[in-house]
Amino acid sequence: MKPVYLRILVLSGILSMACTTKVSEWVLLNSEANNYLLVYYHKDPVTEPVKKQNEQIGREINSANIQFRSILRNDIEKPYYALIYGNRLFSTYNNHAELKNLSVSPLREKIASELMSGMLCVMLYLKTGNPEKDAPASEIIKRTVAASPFREVVSVRELDRSSTEEKHFVSMLLNVENDLKEINEPMLFGIFARFKALEPLLARGISTENINLMIDFLTADCSCLIKDNLPGTDILFTNNWENPLPALVNRILDENPALLHH
């Protein structure tokens, strides 16, 4: 796994040809969220009750960044649903009930609202449930953000990995990289733009230096290289992302010109 802070460091070092719009703002205004694909796999004709269930699912996810289709497969024992992002299988579901709130949840709504209000990013801390691991990393995150000149535009949110209410959100975060589900360590995700999550900082990688590198990346001037090689995984969420407020970071930079060269 390639640590996100190394990738951010590389990207931050090649912005000499940049425009003056900041990375976070440009992506929010110009980059559409990538779509997920929800597939209903079946080997027998779809019954009327299942058709109605699937129509309901389609209505519920209609305004999210997802497409829904049914596919006939003769090599399966029973029908199931699969959530796919790019060419990767994220999750499977045995029935439509397991798909409840797939594209929306209270925490996702809060984060989207903050991004739409002009915040630079949301630092989402995914906890392990082990206080001995979680508490030190939480303290570093809060202390680092509080000391940052961009603290007014960086929000910190915490999420329990075992949350039932946010189970779909947790699953998507743990699919940002292939091996995250097997790692029971604290994780810090930088979330920006239209719910794009950067690869997380893990365990001892959750440091003041690396958190500031992430903030530096998001406050850097955008560039063609960034636009063409944008890092991060889009989180599934119901929103049309219309009429976001101006980036609040611009006021901070206007009032503190020295930050433009930090």
**Which tens digits make up the pLDDT trace of 207-238?**
999 999 999 888 877 554 455 567 889 999 99
How would DSSP label each residue in 111-153?
HHHHHHTT-SEEEEEEE-S-HHHHHHHHHHHHHHHHHSTTGGG
Smallest CA-to-CA distance from 115 within 6, 202, 190, 35 is with 190
**Which tens digits make up the pLDDT trace of 136-155?**
999 999 999 999 999 999 99
**Which tens digits make up the pLDDT trace of 34-43?**
999 999 999 9
The pLDDT assigned to 15 comes to 40
The pLDDT assigned to 251 comes to 76
pLDDT at 247 over 50: yes
**Which tens digits make up the pLDDT trace of 200-209?**
999 999 999 9
The pLDDT assigned to 228 comes to 54
Q: Which residue has the higher pLDDT, 11 or 97?
A: 97
How would DSSP label each residue in 56-100?
HHHHHTTTBSEEEEEEE-TT-SS-EEEEEETTEEEEEESSGGGGT
